[in-house]
Amino acid sequence: MRQAPRLAEVTAPVEVDLTEGIEDGLSVALACPEARVVAGVALASMAAILWPPTVGTIVYWQQNDPPDSPAAAAAKAVRAWQNQGKTVRLARVPAGMKDVNDVIRGGGENGRQGNE
């Protein structure tokens, strides 16, 4: 398996796939082996992530949480990353599934393409 260089070692802006949890991150890594995946772990603190200059685009794998849940923190995080000059694209999973891990376990298609 080819290992991508560390973010501190790259010179051109790169794209990272960011998930809310470790399981989702592993699911994206398995479905998209070419992706550079980062697991954010806790949605509430993801707005505090300070991305290095080498990160140009963040593909955020948003979970299908109810509107009255802590998911409102996702919008705050996206704004914080955009304020850092990052391009943010949303990868959404199909309705009826909670997250990308559900898609992978259910045999569904990869939600990365066409859902941004």
* Domain chopping of the chain, boundaries: 22-50+64-116
Structure tokens at 38: 């980062």
**CA atoms of 32 and 110, how far apart (whole Å):** 8
Q: Which pLDDT score is estimated for 52?
A: 92
User: Which pLDDT value is given to residue 114?
Assistant: 40
What pLDDT does residue 26 have? Answer: 93
- What pLDDT score was predicted for residue 17? 96
- Residue 30: how many other CB atoms lie within 10 Å: 13
- Compute the distance between CA of residue 94 and CA of residue 98 in angstroms, rounded to an integer: 8
Question: Which stretches in the chain have pLDDT values below 70?
Answer: 1-3, 70, 107-116
| SS3 (DSSP) at 73 | helix
Return the amino acid letter for 52: P
Q: How far apart are CA 45 and CA 12, in angstroms?
A: 27
